[in-house]
Structure 1
Amino acid sequence: MTALLSRPHPDDAVESVRPPTDRETTLLGRPMPTDRLRGWLVTLVLTVIGGIVRLQNLGFPTDKGAPVFDEKHYVPQAWQVLRNGGYEDNYGFELVVHPPLAKQLIAVGEWLFGYNGWGWRFTAALAGTVIILLTIRIARRLTRSTLLGGLAGVLVICDGVLHVQSRMGMLDIFIALFALAAFACLLIDRDQVRERLALAVREGWADESLYGPKLGFRWWRFAGGLMIGCSFAIKWSGLYYIAAFGLLCVAFDVAARRAAGVEHPWLGTLRRDVLPALWALLMIPFLIYLGSWWAWFASETATDRNYVEIKNVASGFFGWVPPALRSLADYSANVLHFHETLLTPKGDPHPWESKPWTWPMGLRPMLYYIETGEAATGCGGQQCVRATMLVGTPAMWWLALPMLGWGIWRWIFRSDWRYAAVMVGYLAGLLPWFLNLDRQMYFFYATPMAPFLVLGLTLVLGQVLGSARRGFERRGTGLLVVALYIGLVVANFAWLWPILNGDSITNDHWQSELWLPSWR
């Protein structure tokens, strides 16, 4: 970094020991905690605990050895990917309506463990475990507190949505993973940009141009583009994160240049940062998306690989485009048509369908699996039930709307960039689904929102905890409230455990787990 930005200065020795100016302090903000070793120990211990929780009895439930719920779509497709070397060719059941990356990842588990529950769920469980690690590190960076990072780790382990989705051979846990990883990269890029500008301020050349200094190549922004591209290559809903995180990155850059005293921070951002950001956060994701189709391009039998030739599609103006790319474009148009016409049948909705206004509080969860009678024995009673339900831990999800209200208030009226960043991530997973409310939608679409819910709650807990500088009594009260809340979340997760994991329970116990009429 110094090599990129520093210039010879006759008073380097003096400059290195002088205290930072107000402008430098504003740029750098609160420093990261100095307990790096303890921070990583907390991170790794909680990640290992979370991994054990995710992986225990991973092969259950199955439908007599077959996948359950929407696993029935993606698990066989992943097996085709494994058999064919990276692509699907299911002409008899042409429902290949998502990009290939998640199915390629699921295929890795099937390659390791075979075509069974462990095989088709292993990489999802691994993704859910990495989400725990990322959430801890992101919370620690946002709050500059190892304690709060650890509390975020406990919350993310105890979230029912992330727990169940980490134990299903479906796609959405991978969107959550890569969207969260992109968010982490942009946070590190933000800090690095401010460090570079602080150095320029210290050396006295931050304002040599009306637009501020050039910042060199930003590797963490580039890495963020790679992660967003992977999210896009899981499902097209990754597009929303391209837009949301692109705007967030621009906002970070404008705020940093303004804090550095740049005379025209907006023009400076437009001149210095926007084009590189478009390359990193728009072009790179699209290249990653195209790259995820590598096996499809290399094959001759993949689904619709030779669509334009088989259907004799007129090339027209796009005749100069290679047939393979035109086939992918037509294939994608067919997929888009499938999604646009996947509407809720009037008078006959799917029994577990839900609309996005119900997602923040998890008002309509999803039943993935249920068995009664002889198949569910083991509860110690006469009537036993085994069920796996996707339900968010109420002690967390029922606070989503207050957290959103407080976060938006802090964002707008207190200019708290931490809440602003988390709200952008959360709302990018929620608001786009309001664009077409006639479409069939389900609660598992809310999976990418869950880590940002945890981060928002962690920021609130940080304010409840308070600073040690505010006195022992205030800190002690805050610590007590936070401890009680964390205990409530853990107890709530423990109560839901049987219906998150398909354990055998009595029918009375099953009924007591269904807290709301909409859960039935």
Structure 2
Amino acid sequence: MRLKAALFGGIDAQVSAVSSIAPSLSAHPRPYRAAALIALLAQLLFSYRLTIPTKLMFDEVHYVPAARTLIALAGPRNIEHPLLAKEIIAGGILLLGDNSLGWRFFSTLAGTATVLGVFAIVWLMLGRVRPAVFAALFALFNFTVFVEARIAMLDGFMAAFTLLGIASLLWAMRAETARGAWARWILGSALLGLAVAAKWIAAPFVAYAAIGFVIVRLVDARRSGRSVFAALNARPTGGTHRHWRGMAAIPAILVLGVVSIGVYGATFAPAFFYTIDPLTWRTLLPFQVTMYAQQTQVLPSHTYQSRWWSWPLMLRPIWYLYERTDGAQRGVLLIGNLVVLWGGLVAVAACLYRGARARDLRLLAAAGLWIGSYVVWIIIPKSIGFFYYYYLPSIFLCIALSVALDHFGRRRQWDMAVLGGCVALFAVFYPILSALPLWGPNAFRVWTWFPSWV
């Protein structure tokens, strides 16, 4: 209990320090000091005791050996997923050694980038630092982000590149010149290509970006009394576009597709040098078909499998680790922070309802990010599912929650109350998020509040 009290007190003090700058920064358009403080807090939190457990846990048993195979250029392994995330894990092994620090170090950087991506998206959407700070803190203390930032899996890298890609495309909206807009648009396209190269589930966001460009331009044209042709053209008669200046729709969409696909393809370069069964230009495209077949194959049942409809309700978390290791009983449970997961669902509904009635694209976008990232799991042909598939939607809930609190509860400072609940739950669950020593094999009962959590 003293450990929990000490942890809660320390975290609460850090959160208060970061949160206190929000009101003073809200009047200024530059959020760099707040972002730097949040990045430092995130990196410290993700890195503390990173090497425990010293053994592979959960899907590290697939991806770390695949990274070792890449280092040796021995041949294809774990072919159901693209190479980028495994290349990054391999980079950690080469840099820091084939040990738990080398396996997981770059995951901590991806986690910090994810938190900063949340911050940037909300700041670019609303132009206010306070809601951006709270969105980032919700992400930081969301259990899913913390756990994925401390394990060598693919999802953390996919999420980081996706969020940074979205932020770059939003940044392009704010550019004051056509040259600046194009540079940021190309950067965002490349980042989305890297996201897909980490895990295919990011691919819909390339399409969402194209759709979003067209929708924003059409809404701008309607409000300014311009034609559809003017909306999609680079330079409308008698003025400039409010968003993505100097960019026409068709070239923008073509660049988005070409750059993202080109970057994705480039990440397969190491496979051309395999000792056994190397890729060639002729086999690169057929290999994608093979990957799809591997992704959609019928798999045997699994202890922790769950259906897509159960993920928002948090019915079946996953024990990434629960055993005696490194001299003590330890556990790592992938579970969502209930304040974020359940409060975020209310926020999505509120943003969707109010956004539709007020025709507010910012509220609709906050809800749409979660909807777009979740609905793909309903559509794609996967034989079984797991709660970690909900990782990206769980991050977008942080955005919806912050935007909703800013819109509906700004004067009452509800964001502080919600953050307090979020941090309190993080402190309670910290021992089984971070593999702290537990007092025995039955210690898990303290945190398994529902039978399905066991």
TM-score normalised by L of structure 1 = 0.75
CA distance in 1, matches of 2:66, 2:254: 32
Is 1:442 aligned to residue 376 of structure 2?
Answer: no
Residues 42 and 402 (structure 1), Cα distance of their counterparts in 2 relative to 1, 3 Å cut = same
Post-superposition shift, 1:404? 2.1
Post-superposition shift, 1:34? 4.7
> 1:366, 1:389 within 8 Å by CA — same for their partners in 2?
yes
Per-residue displacement from partner, 1:232-265 (whole Å, max 9, x unpaired)?
1112222111112221122122222333331x13
Give the one of 293, 314, 326 matched to 2:282. Answer: 326
CA distance in 2, matches of 1:402, 1:217: 35
Is 1:137 aligned to residue 120 of structure 2?
Answer: yes
Residue 218 of structure 1 aligns to a residue whose secondary structure is helix
Q: Who is 1:79 aligned against?
A: 68
Q: Who is 1:18 aligned against?
A: none
1:240-279 aligned within 5 A: 240-262=204-226, 264-265=227-228, 267-272=229-234, 273-279=248-254
Residue 438 of structure 2 aligns to a residue whose secondary structure is strand
> 2:147, 2:434 within 8 Å by CA — same for their partners in 1?
yes
Is 1:459 aligned to residue 411 of structure 2?
Answer: no
Residues 141 and 368 (structure 1), Cα distance of their counterparts in 2 relative to 1, 3 Å cut = same
Give the one of 481, 490, 493 matched to 2:426. Answer: 493
Query: Cα RMSD between the aligned structures?
Result: 2.3
Q: Who is 1:101 aligned against?
A: 84
CA distance in 2, matches of 1:331, 1:389: 35
> 2:206, 2:256 within 8 Å by CA — same for their partners in 1?
yes
Q: Who is 1:49 aligned against?
A: 41
> 2:296, 2:381 within 8 Å by CA — same for their partners in 1?
no
Is 1:370 aligned to residue 345 of structure 2?
Answer: no
Give the one of 273, 291, 294 matched to 1:335. Answer: 291
Residues 436 and 221 (structure 1), Cα distance of their counterparts in 2 relative to 1, 3 Å cut = closer
CA distance in 2, matches of 1:83, 1:304: 13
Residue 237 of structure 1 aligns to a residue whose secondary structure is helix
TM-score normalised by L of structure 2 = 0.85
Q: Which runs of 5+ in 1 are unaligned?
A: 1-31, 197-213, 306-323, 379-384, 467-474
Per-residue displacement from partner, 1:168-188 (whole Å, max 9, x unpaired)?
101001111111011111212
Amino acid at match of 1:278: I
Amino acid at match of 1:119: G
Is 1:355 aligned to residue 307 of structure 2?
Answer: yes
Is 1:70 aligned to residue 59 of structure 2?
Answer: yes
> 2:190, 2:260 within 8 Å by CA — same for their partners in 1?
yes
CA distance in 2, matches of 1:425, 1:167: 25
CA distance in 2, matches of 1:511, 1:329: 49
Larger Rg: 1
Residue 387 of structure 1 aligns to a residue whose secondary structure is strand
CA distance in 1, matches of 2:383, 2:357: 35
> 1:248, 1:424 within 8 Å by CA — same for their partners in 2?
no
Residue 429 of structure 1 aligns to a residue whose secondary structure is helix
CA distance in 2, matches of 1:350, 1:239: 26
Amino acid at match of 1:178: F
Q: Who is 1:35 aligned against?
A: 28
Post-superposition shift, 1:191? 2.8
CA distance in 2, matches of 1:172, 1:76: 17
CA distance in 2, matches of 1:153, 1:247: 26
Residue 505 of structure 1 aligns to a residue whose secondary structure is coil
Residue 326 of structure 1 aligns to a residue whose secondary structure is coil
CA distance in 2, matches of 1:215, 1:117: 44
Q: Who is 1:513 aligned against?
A: 447
Per-residue displacement from partner, 1:134-179 (whole Å, max 9, x unpaired)?
2223222323222222222221110100100011101001111111
